[in-house]
Chains A and B, each alone.
Chain A
Amino acid sequence: MKPQDAIAPGIVGLAVLGGWEGLVRHYAVPSYVLPGPVAIGQALVADWPLLAGSLLVTLRIALLALLLAVSLGGLLAVAFAQSRWVERAFFPYAVVLQVTPVVAIAPLILIWVDDVTVSLLICAWIVAFFPVLSNTVLGLNSADRNHLELFRLYGASRWQTLWLLRLPGALPYFLAGLRVAGGLALIGAVVAEFVAGAGGTGSGLAFRILEAGYQLKIPRMFAALALISAAGIAIFAVLGLVQHLLLRRWHESAMTPEG
C-alpha cells in the first residue's frame, strides 16, 4: 500500500471521530453511557500502564496460539497429504473442532486444564488452526499434474516431491490461511479470556473490559476495545507483509499490474 492510499480512509476516520465527538458534546451524553473519542483517548493515556500490560498478556496468548496453529496445522496438513486415507479419517474431526463455538467449549477446557494460560492457549489454538490446516491441505493437493509427471519421470522420491514441489506450491495457500488465522487467534484469545475472566482469573484485555464494565469506567472499556482492534489490524498487516515478501518474486497474488 502506498502512503497516498491511506488518505481516503484517514479522512473518513477523522470525519467519523469528529462527528461522534460533536454529537456527544451537543447532546451532553454522559460518559458512562457513551464517551467521546477525546474521553477515550484520555482514558487510554491515563490507564496506559494497566492497559499496556493487559495488551501484552493477550498478544502473548494470541501469538503463541498462532505459532501452535501454524506448526500443528502445517504438520497435520503434511500428514493428510501423504495419504488420502489419513485425510479422510481425520479431516471430519478437524471440522467438528472448527464448527463447535469456542464459547461453548471454553468453560470445559477451563475446568479440565488447571493452568489458565494453557487453557486460554488451547481455546485460541482451536479457533486459529483450521484455516491453516484446510488451506495447506488444499495447497498440497493442488500440485500441477504436469509437474507431478515431471517429477515421476525423473524418479523423484516421495520426500523430494513433497519438499521441492508440493510444499513450495502450497506456500501461497498456507500464507492466505495464516492471515486469517492471525485474526482468529486474537479473537479466540479474547473470547476465552471473557469466559475465564467471569471467574475472576486472568488479566488480559478482555478481563479489563469486564472489570471496567463492573466499575462503570466506560471510557476505559472503549480504550481496551480500541487496543484489541489495533492489535488485530497490526497482526493482519504484519502477516500481509510476510506474505508479500515471500511471494513477490513468483506468485501472481503479489504482483503489481505492470509486473
Chain B
Amino acid sequence: MTLVALEGVGKRFASGTQALAGVELRIEAGEFLAILGPSGCGKSTLLRLIAGLAAPTEGVIRRAASRQVGFVFQDPTLLPWADALGNVRLPLRLAGVDRAEQEARAAAAMAAVGLAGFERAWPRELSGGMRMRVSIARAMVTRPSLLLMDEPFAALDELTRHRLNDDLLGLWAGSGGADGTTVVFVTHSVFESVYLASRVILMAARPGRVVAEMPVVLPGGVPGGAAAPRPAGFRTSADYAALCRQATEALERAMAP
C-alpha cells in the first residue's frame, strides 16, 4: 500500500529559492526509506512536505486516509520546562488521551529506547544522545504509521550513533517491520543509509531533485527491510563494505555533470 505519493512536487520559497523540483516519490507501507543527499539539497524541505508542515508550490501530494505521523527533528526540540516523561507524553496529551494512559504509554516508549529510570530527569540533565532518544520516544509514543526523521543522529559520536542505529532498527522491526511503522530517514551519510534502509533514494541540489534510487539487497538476496536488526558483525563485514561502495558509486554517477 502506498502511504504517501508525491507527483511532480516542487517547492519554491518566497525568497525565490527553488528548493525542490519535479519530485516523484512513493512511500510504501512498512518500508525503511533513507533519503541521502548533500547539504542544502532540500532533504528537510522534502520531509516537511511529506509531514504536511508545508505545502508544495507545484504538483500534488496524496496521502493514505488514516495516518499518524511522528517527526524527529534535526535537534531534539524538547520542552526545557518539562521532564523527560512530560516531553514524551506531550503528543498523547495534545490528543486528549487520559492522564494515566499517557504516563503508562510514555514510560513504555522510554523503556523501548533504553531510558527507563530517567523519566523524571530534566532535558538539561541528559546527554545529547539521551535527549535524542527522548525525542525518538516522543515520536514513537503515538505508534505512528509514518515516522519521519531528519538527520537525528548527525550530531552524535560514531559509537553512540551505531548503538542508536541498532536501537532504531530494533524498534522498527519490533513495530511489525514490514507491516508496522514506515520510516523515512534523512541522512547525508552513505554508511548510515545503507546500514538502516530497505531502500535509498539519492538527491542532488540546485534545484533539489531525486536523481537515483537503490533498493538495499543484503547478501543472499535478502531484502534490506527483512533483515532488521542487522546480523551481528554486519557493520564490519565485506558485504556491508560492498553495499556502501555500490551506493557511493551510484551517488557519484548521480552527481556527475
> Footprint of B on A, CB under 8 Å?
144, 146-147, 149-156, 160, 164-165, 168-169, 171, 249-251, 255, 259
Q: Which of B73, B80, B124 contacts A259 (CB 8 A)?
A: B124
Beyond known contacts A151-B94, A154-B95: 17 more, CB 8 A cutoff: A146-B73, A147-B79, A149-B73, A150-B71, A150-B77, A152-B53, A153-B51, A153-B71, A154-B142, A155-B95, A165-B79, A168-B81, A169-B81, A249-B81, A249-B122, A250-B122, A259-B124
With A149-B53, A250-B122 as known contacts, state yes or no: A164 contacts B90, CB within 8 Å.
yes
> Footprint of A on B, CB under 8 Å?
48, 51-53, 69, 71, 73, 75, 77, 79-81, 90-91, 93-95, 122-125, 142
Closest to A145 in B: B77
A224 CA / B71 CA spacing, docked (Å): 61
Chain A residues closer than 8 Å to B95, beta-carbon distance: 154-155
Q: Are B79 and A168 in contact (CB under 8 A)?
A: yes
Q: Are A153 and B69 in contact (CB under 8 A)?
A: yes
Closest to B52 in A: A153
A154 to chain B, nearest CB (A): 4
Specify the main secondary structure of chain A where it touches its partner. Answer: helix
B132 to chain A, nearest CB (A): 14
Q: Are A251 and B80 in contact (CB under 8 A)?
A: yes
Q: List 27 A-B contacts (CB under 8 A).
A: A144-B77, A146-B73, A146-B77, A149-B53, A149-B71, A150-B73, A150-B77, A150-B90, A153-B51, A153-B53, A153-B71, A154-B94, A154-B95, A154-B142, A155-B94, A164-B93, A165-B79, A168-B79, A168-B81, A169-B81, A171-B81, A250-B80, A250-B123, A250-B124, A251-B80, A251-B81, A255-B124
* Smallest CB-CB A-B distances: 3 pairs: A146-B77, A154-B94, A168-B81
Chain A residues closer than 8 Å to B125, beta-carbon distance: 259
Chain A residues closer than 8 Å to B123, beta-carbon distance: 250
Closest to B148 in A: A153
Closest to A153 in B: B71
With A147-B77, A168-B81 as known contacts, state yes or no: A156 contacts B94, CB within 8 Å.
yes
Q: Which of A146, A160, A165, A259 contacts B75 (CB 8 A)?
A: A146
Of A164, A168, A171, most B-chain CB atoms within 10 Å: A164
B122 to chain A, nearest CB (A): 6
Chain B residues closer than 8 Å to A249, beta-carbon distance: 81, 122
